Structure 1
Amino acid sequence: MKVYQLLIIAVLFLQTTVYSQGEALFKSKCNTCHAVDKNSTGPWLKGVKAKWSDAGEKTLLYEWVRNSNSLIAGGKSQMALAIKDFSGSEMPPQQASDDEIDQILDYVDNYVPPVKSTETGATETTAEVELIPDYKGNLTIFYALGTLMIILLLAIVLMSSSVLSFVKSDVFKKKLRDQENLTRLLILLISIGAAFIPGHAYGMSTPDPANPEQAGLPWLLIKKTDIYMLIGIDFALLLVVLYLRGLFNNFYYMVYPRKVKLAKQSKKRAVKILVDSVPIEEENNILMDHEYDGIRELDNNLPPWWVWGFYASIVFAFIYIFNYHLFNTGDLQTEEYNKSMARAQKEIDAYLKEAAMNVDESNVTLLSEQSALATGKQLFETNCSACHKDGSGDIGPNLTDNFWLYGNDIQTVFGTIKNGTTNGMPEHASKLNPVQLQQVASFVLNLKYKPGKEPQGKEFPKK
C-alpha cells in the first residue's frame, strides 16, 4: 500500500465524520428549544436556511444563531425582527462555526420522521425516543478500535514492503500487480462504505459546555453506530493483512523451498531418541539365535526414556538415603506426621482461644445462667436422653440422685461427657464444642431429683 492510498482513506474518513455531525450538533445545541418536525419553544427549523436565502439574508443567518439579540438590536435583519416575538424566551448565543451551522441546517432539512409502530392495546410510539448512550464506555471502545486500525494499517504497510523485497522476476511482478489491485479494491470498498453511512445513523461530536444536560460527558461523543463502523473497517483491514500474510508466505517458499527431507530426518531422530526402535527392513540384523516353535526373538534395546527413568530412580535413591538416613537433614514420614499433627493442634488451640472456646477440665466452671442451661437442656435431649431419659436413668445411671460413678464436680462431669468411659459412655468431644460440653455438664448438675433407676456408684453430697 502506498502513502497516497492511506491519505485517501484519511480524507474520506474525516469528510464522513464532519458531514455526519449534524444530528449530534442539533441535539447538543438546539434540541432544548427546537423540535425537528414541529414548533416548540422555538420555531420549526426545517426550510429556514432557504427562507433566509430567499430574503437575501443568508450571511445574517449565521449571526442570528451566534447572537440573536445583537442582530435584533442592530435592526439590519428583517427576518430577525419578524421572528423575535415568536416566543417569550430569548434565544441564547451559540458558539458554532459557519460549517457547524450548515451541518445542523442540512440535517434538519433532510430529516426523515421515524416510522411509527403500533401494538394492540398500546398507544403509538416512535423510534425517536432513545436512551442516553454510554458515551464514556463507547469512547474507551473507540480508542481501542482506533488503535487497532492504526496497527493494522502499519501492518499492511510493513507487509507490503516485505513482499516487495521478494520481487525479483517477471512472475513475481505479475503476482505483485494482482495483489496491489486486490488491495486497492478493498481500500476502495472500505472508503465507499464509510462515505455512504447515513448521517442520521452516525455522528461524533463534542458536548456543549453551555448545555447543563451535557455536563460531565467526555470530550468526544461516540454512539454505537460509530463503534459498529470502526469494527467493520478493522475487520476489512484484518482481511487485507491476512491476504498479505498468505502472499508473503507463498513468495517466501518460492525463494526458500521447504526442506521436507530434513523434516523427515528430524522425525526419525526424535523416534530414535524416544523408543530406539529398528526399522522393519533392518530387523534381520537383530534376530537372536534361539527359536521356540518357529518364533524368534528380536534383540531390541530398551526405550531410552525408560532407561533414563531407571537411572534417575537410582540417583534419587542415593539422594534419599544420604538426606534422610545418613545426614538426617529431612524428616521421615513418622516425624513429619507428628510435626504436622502438632502444628494442627496449635492451630486448633489458637482457634478455640480466639473463639472463646478454650474450655477444658482445668478451667471449666459451673454455669447458672438460664440461657446457658436452656441450651444445655436441648443438647442433653438430643445427645443424652437415649441412655438417661429425662435424667432419671435407663441404660445409663440416674443423674438426679446423689450417687455418682466418677464424681459430681463440674470438672469430672465435663471430662466424662467429653472423653467418655470404658463402661459404655461414648465420647462427645467430636459432636460438641467445649462450650456446649460445659452447658450440658452444668444442666446435669442443676437437675432436680427424679425417681428412676436404682443408685449406682458412690454417694456424694449435693452441691
Structure 2
Amino acid sequence: MISIKNIFRKSSLALIAGVLLAGSNAVQAQDAVEGKKIFDANCATCHSIESDVVGPALKDVHTRREEAWIKQFVKNSTEMIQAGDPEAKAVFEKYGKVQMTSFAGQLSDGDIENVIAYVKQESENPTTAETPPAADGTTIATAAPQEVSFMDLPLLVHFTIALSGIIILLIIAVLIMLFRLFVPMLGDSIYDEDFRNSFAGRVLFLMRGDATVVTGKAKDEIHSSHDFDGIQEYDNDLPPWWKTMFYVSIVFAIGYMLHFHVFNTGKLQAEEYEMEMEEAAALAALNADDPNAVTTYEILTEATALESGKTIFNTNCAACHGQEGQGTVGPNLTDEYWLHGGDVNDIFKTVKYGVPAKGMVPWQGKLTKDQILEVSSYILSLQGSNPANAKEPQGEKM
C-alpha cells in the first residue's frame, strides 16, 4: 500500500515545480515588457525589429550574435571597431559607417538582457504590418491590393469577352467563305498581270503563299558592266514595305519641319521641359507630402510649444544628436552651420522626409505635422547655447 506520506511528498514536489515554471514565464514576460520600454526610449530611433533603419533590423539578433558580444557592442561599438572585431567592422561598413551611440553609462547588463528578451519575443511573433498615423494623429487602415482571378470577374465582363470572341470568329469565317467562293469563279484570270498587280491580286497571292507583295520581284537582270571579281549585281526591286516606309518618312519629315520650324505651332524640347517643370511645381504646391512643395511655416516661440518640442527631441532625436543638441552620430544642432538648410521650413522638411543616405530617418509616419513643427522650432531655439563637447561644424554657415 502506498503511504500517505509518499503521496504528500510527490504532490508537494509537483506543486513547487509548477510554481517555479509559472514564475519563470512571468519573469521572462516581465523582462520583455521592461525591455520594450528601454528599446522605445533608446533604440527605436535607429532600429526596428523587422526592417533596416539607420542600423540593422534586430529580428533574431539573439540567434546571430552571442549575448556577450551584443552587450559589448551596445556599451561601446566604437571600441570594438577600433579593436578590429570583424563582425563589428562589418556592421559599421554595411550601414554607412554610422557609429552607434555608446550606452556604457546608461544601460546596465540587466537592461540589455531585457532588450534582448523583448527582441526575442517580437522575433517569435507573427509579422504584422504597421499602419502609419495620419496628419491628425489617427491611424489609417490600409488594405493591400488583391488580385482578382478571371473567374471572379462580373458576369457582364465574361459575356462581353465571349461576345467579342464570337464576332471575331464570325468575321474570319465569312472572309474564308468569300475567298473560297469567288476565287474559283475567277478561273485563270487571276494570273493576268493586271490583276496580279492590283491590290486585290496582291492580297490574294499573299494568302496563297506568294510573298512578292512583301519582298518584291526578282527580275534576275544583271546590271550592265557591274562585275566585281566575278560578283554580279542584279536589278531587283526593293521590298515594297521598305519603299512604303521610306516614302512615309519623307512626308513625315516635311510635316515635322513645317510644324516645328516654319509655322512654330509645336513646342520644341526646351519649351516642353519648361512647361512640364511649371506643371510639376503647380502639382507639388497642391500636394503637402511632396518634398518639393513650398511651405511657409513660421517658427513657434510659445513656451508650451517649445517644451513639447523638447520632449519630442529628447525621445526621438537625442540618441543621434545628443541631449543638448551637441551632436554625436548626427551633426551639431547648436551652431550656425547646416547641411540641409537652417530655416524652420528647411528643418521641417529634413525631419519629415529624413536623409536616408546619411542615416537620418523620415519621421512623417511617426510624428504629426504639429509635432514636427514644434521640434523644428525647439532645434532653432538651441542656437548659440554652446553645450560642452559640441561636435565640429558641418555644412554651410547660415
* TM superposition score category, shorter chain reference: 0.3 to 0.5
Larger Rg: 1
